[in-house]
Amino acid sequence: MTRDELKALIRDVPDFPKPGIMFRDVTTLIGHGRGFAAAVGHLADLAGSTEATSIAGIEARGFIFGASVAARLGLPFVPVRKPGKLPVPVLAMDYALEYGTDTLEVDPGAISSGERVVVIDDLIATGGTAHAAIKLLREAGAEVGHALFLVDLPDLGGADRLREAGVTVEALVDFPGH
């Protein structure tokens, strides 16, 4: 399937999570077998061209796409988790959200020093979560030079924020606005 065909499988949900926001819902793409397989294939092609040694996915939908890409490429998958989900001592990173803060965690034993990790998530908006994940993975010893997304909302500047941090950013589709 083409990227335009994939884009057509993403549902628009107006006024979610608050009035004035157009939510781009990828669950409709995930629920379309051929579309999901094509999206994973496109992301795997991009990740495969980076010389990655691991794929990291950000909880929660980044797990769906990241783990699928890792399996397709035969690479290890590193979950970047929300707090309290990993059963071992973790590295943690707090980061700012539009209204408050959140935390991401990673098992430092899941990453070898110098490992080339590609970060995958479903969508990039302001880039706060992805930027925190990249900083956290780098703190764990990873080299993170690429981040891949199904959807980019370029008007919110997240991809540019990651590029300023030295990361090559690619998305399969983009949507104007927020």
Q: Does residue 37 form part of some domain? A: no
Q: What's residue 100's pLDDT?
A: 77
Pairing of the two strands 22-25 and 11-14: antiparallel
Q: How far apart are CA 81 and CA 85, in angstroms?
A: 7
Asked whether residue 146 is assigned to any structural domain, the reply reads yes
CATH number of the domain where residue 124 is located: 3.40.50.2020
Tell me if residue 61 is catalytic: yes
Query: Cα 70–75–79 angle (5° rounding)?
Result: 60
pLDDT digits (tens, 9 = 90+) for 89-142: 999 999 987 667 899 999 999 999 999 999 999 999 999 999 999 999 999 999
> How many structural domains are present in the chain?
1
What distance in Å separates the CA atoms of residue 3 and residue 122, rounded to the nearest whole number?
A: 14
Residue 25 lies in a domain: no
Mean model confidence pLDDT for the chain: 96
| Assigned domain for 70 exists | yes
Assigned domain for 14 exists: no
pLDDT score recorded for residue 98: 67
Quick check: is 94 in a domain? yes
Catalytic, out of 3, 61, 116, 138: 61
> Which residue is associated with the tokens 């979610």?
16
Which residues have a Cβ under 8 Å from the Cβ of 132 and sit 6 or more positions away?
Answer: 93, 94, 95, 104
> Is 98 noted as a catalytic residue in this protein?
yes
Domain membership flag for residue 106: yes
Band (pLDDT 50/70/90 cuts) for residue 18 is confident
Q: Decide if 42 is inside a domain.
A: no
For the residues 22-51, what does the mean pLDDT come to? 97
Q: How confident is the model at residue 178 (pLDDT cuts 50, 70, 90)?
A: low
| Containing structural domain, residue 119 | 51-171
E-only strand ranges, 34-115: 54-58, 77-80, 91-97, 100-106
